Structure 1
Amino acid sequence: MMAAWEFNQFAEDKILVDKWSPDAVVGYAKRHDLFDYVPSTKTLYNWIDEGKLSVINMDLAMKLRRSTKKAKSAENKKILGTSIEERPESVETREEFGHWEIDTVLGHKSKDNALLTLVERKSRMEIIRRIPSKDASAVTDALSDIFSEFPNLQDTFKSITSDNGSEFSKLAEQGKKLQIDVYFAHPYAS
């Protein structure tokens, strides 16, 4: 118990007078083998929070400036259409051909060109097209070209699922015109 009391006096002096951080106090005491017992930095912070030392958080410059990361709020993220939660079970279980997932991929060398990818969920068939940019009009134009290649459009494309990227902002409208169900993943799902 005496060792803990001596350490506490040392810690209070170094923090209050010399303006050391709790981590510096613990590191110095361990490196120079000053006490029989030296707590971990976390334990020292806990003791300060619990009032076991005469040091308070206001005395710790870094703890006052340090801000914890806050979870990003999805409430401002626009949902572009029907939620993925409303997809039929046949889409989930991959029992039926014609349900596609769409995404865009940017290359690391060029910020202009992108790839539009469509993957059919049951067969894993892929359609990949280079698009001039990752924006809604480029995606809409590429999809129009792809759809024109399939004479039985409604048999080939029953649904498309995408993320909520701005490049898919016209997808629901395009799907509605062509009688293709369009679903969107939850915001910040990736």
Structure 2
Amino acid sequence: MNNSKTATQKHMTLDDRISIEKGLDQHLSLRSIALQLGKDPTTISKEIKKHRSFQEHNRFNEPANKCALAKDCKKKNICGTYAPVCKRMCRSCNHCNSHCEDFIPRSYHCSLLDKAPFVCNGCSKKNPCRLDKAYYRSSTAHRQYKTILVESRAGINISPADLVALDELVTPLILQGQSPYMILRNHPEIALSEKTLYNYIESGALSVKNIDLPKKVKYKVRSCSSSEAADLTIYEGRTYKDYQAFLKEFPDTRVTEMDTVLGCEGSKKVLLTLHFDCCSLMMAYLLDSKEVCHVKAIFDSIERSLGTFSFSSVFSLVLTDRGGEFRNPAALECGQENLIRTSIYYCDPMCSWQKPHCEKNHEYIRKICPKGTSFDDYS
């Protein structure tokens, strides 16, 4: 067992439960067990009482009379079946159990189970004991914990009445064309997150279905393959947190969001989009392919037209994603005569929402050039 006090965790592990079982077998106090695991004694107490397993008492050679008062009882012929022949004490048979008004069922509950340690693991009298027993077994406790964990996260956490009220409010609005995001913004009384509302629709809890969400039915299942660059050192000092820290220190810096719009599968040409946040203007350039050299060529062309000083003023800071066409920040940041012309920062992986203006304008581009359109015929 771990003898040093460690930081507490929200959930106990199987190793923790094994340590508890060993401590109980050794007749250690709950405080000693808690100290070894670095947890509060109350936590150990709740764990034991919640996951202990009860074992019924041994019925071998058990008296037939189930009355708790049978030992001192002097009554005779209570049942009246054998009167006046029967002269035995009623405690010697079990007929009185169903006839005697003073009958009290014999209890096999051990009072020691009502106080710490709440189980019989370390009890020296557990073998000859004829009472009901309780044991703490780590494997059983962990299996019960896993079952409860899964069941607690299944279904929806809302009452039937609240679900009906939510359905009556949300369904008509979605059928009118409103998105879940818009509904939650306009109805703050709905105490749900956008993701939860989508989950309710996905699970069929509401009358509205996925087919009624125009944008959702267009989404394709995301690929599980990672697009992370092998060389992560290029992102050092250029992450989204660094970007936020820079803007906090220099809030008047002009930000340009950069991204690419892809054509259909097999199409080489792509659109390079540059969105200027200060004036809500977007520029788009047609690239021959999705490569760093073509992005750099656009930067060089703009710099030659504006001059290095004007370029640095307009493109003070560029925020982009981690696409392969942007993975050479040094080439994009350095211009003529190796002068620094801009600063490149990258969004976090799978976080396109961190450059929302660019992504929103891409939706407008897709209305003109839907997904599946080839840019190879464009010039």
Bin the TM-score by the shorter chain. Answer: 0.5 to 0.7
Q: Secondary structure at the match of 1:101?
A: strand
- Mapped to 2, the partners of 1:104 and 1:88 lie a distance apart of 22
Task: Give unmatched runs, 5+ long, in structure 2.
Answer: 1-145, 148-223, 353-379
- Mapped to 1, the partners of 2:229 and 2:299 lie a distance apart of 28
What residue is the counterpart of 1:167 in the other structure? 325
Is the CA contact 1:115–1:128 (under 8 Å) kept in the aligned structure 2? yes
Q: Where in structure 2 are the equivalents of 1:55-94 lying within 5 Å?
A: 78-79=231-232, 80-81=234-235, 82-88=238-244, 91=247
Moved more, 117-126 or 106-115: 106-115
Deviation per CA, 1:137-190: give whole Å up to 9, x if none: 111112211222223122111111111111001234321443311101112323
What residue is the counterpart of 1:182 in the other structure? 344
Q: Where in structure 2 are the equivalents of 1:62-141 lying within 5 Å?
A: 78-79=231-232, 80-81=234-235, 82-88=238-244, 91=247, 96=252, 98-108=254-264, 111-141=267-297
- Mapped to 2, the partners of 1:72 and 1:78 lie a distance apart of 17
Q: Which segments of structure 1 move beyond 4 Å, counting only runs of 4 or more?
A: 71-78, 88-92
Cα–Cα, structure 1 residues 145 and 169, in superposed 2: closer, same or farther, change >3 Å? same
Q: Secondary structure at the match of 2:259?
A: strand
Task: Give unmatched runs, 5+ long, in structure 1.
Answer: 1-48, 51-70
- Mapped to 1, the partners of 2:226 and 2:269 lie a distance apart of 30
- Mapped to 2, the partners of 1:91 and 1:130 lie a distance apart of 30
Structure 1 residue identity aligned to 2:305: E
Deviation per CA, 1:38-70: give whole Å up to 9, x if none: xxxxxxxxxxx96xxxxxxxxxxxxxxxxxxxx
- Mapped to 2, the partners of 1:157 and 1:178 lie a distance apart of 11
Is the CA contact 1:150–1:156 (under 8 Å) kept in the aligned structure 2? no
Give aligned-pair identity as a percent.
Answer: 21
- Mapped to 2, the partners of 1:163 and 1:124 lie a distance apart of 19
1:147 and 2:303 are equivalent in the alignment: yes
Q: Secondary structure at the match of 1:155?
A: helix
TM-score (norm 1): 0.53
- Mapped to 2, the partners of 1:86 and 1:97 lie a distance apart of 14
Is the CA contact 2:269–2:288 (under 8 Å) kept in the aligned structure 1? yes
Q: Secondary structure at the match of 2:306?
A: coil
Cα–Cα, structure 1 residues 169 and 76, in superposed 2: closer, same or farther, change >3 Å? closer
How many equivalent residue pairs?
124
Please identify which structure carries the higher strand content.
1
TM-score (norm 2): 0.28
Cα–Cα, structure 1 residues 97 and 77, in superposed 2: closer, same or farther, change >3 Å? same
Cα–Cα, structure 1 residues 124 and 77, in superposed 2: closer, same or farther, change >3 Å? farther
Compute the RMSD of aligned alpha carbons.
3.5
Find the structure with the greater CA-based Rg.
2
